[in-house]
Chains A and B, each alone.
Chain A
């Protein structure tokens, strides 16, 4: 490397519009690369340094805090329209380090590392002593609640059988004693009324995802299952360009960016279909 003046960074205000622009690029990157859980939104910019980059451009070194929203990553709703998960619901924060290259006015993420963690039980208790806390997904009560809710949903379905994609949230409610769960589902090639072995059902090539919220309440000798599912618009099978110029139709890949893979504006609006509640 040629001798020259040492590279020094430029200090930018964390609330500077340019910093906020870069932070938004970072948050969009997070949400388009999340494979499970909920979309995140920007809460605070912790640090920013701007390094000159040879031969051209600048590297923004950024530390940001995010908060979980109530929109599942499979939900095509833009994150700007999603509600932030409140403290009383047991909030989850993200702590992220980013490096973003700005060159010719264009931003590109060159490094990203995020950790997410739920608020502490003590902090939740401070603002709400009786609020339910997050529960582990592998707890027998959670597993049972999800199975019962999915079975109830499919039992009411006159069409497609939906299979579980992931459990995304679970809480134990003290009074009445109940288990609250949230989970994602996907349409399969099976008919709900005819399924004998769910393991033989396969997700459709034209993916249709849904998001369910359920409460399973324990009663003496029985239980009540209340489940509400929102089905999202199908994600079309898109043609993939091939090296020889032909297009081959393949299923859209795993839910990397559901918002980007919904139909173009000329199609009907991406309205979600709300199904339920069913008890």
Chain B
């Protein structure tokens, strides 16, 4: 039998490092 290797570290959603948060509003 062929066994699929486990996928490590796929826990939560990945937050893109950039761009950062908007402090007020986007123009």
Contact = CB atoms under 8 A, between A and B. Distances in A.
B22 interface: yes
Contacts of A43: 22-27
Interface string B1-27: 000000000000000011111111111
B24 A46 contact: no
B21 A15 contact: yes
Contacts of B26: 43-44
A119 B27 contact: yes
Interface residues of B, dominant DSSP = loop
A192 interface: no
Interface residues of A, dominant DSSP = strand
B27 A93 contact: yes
Contacts of B22: 43-44
20 contacts: A12-B17, A13-B18, A14-B17, A14-B18, A15-B21, A41-B23, A41-B24, A43-B25, A43-B27, A44-B19, A44-B21, A44-B26, A45-B20, A46-B18, A48-B18, A65-B27, A67-B25, A87-B25, A91-B25, A92-B27
Interface of A: 11-15, 19, 41-48, 65, 67, 84, 87, 91-93, 119, 123
Interface of B: 17-27
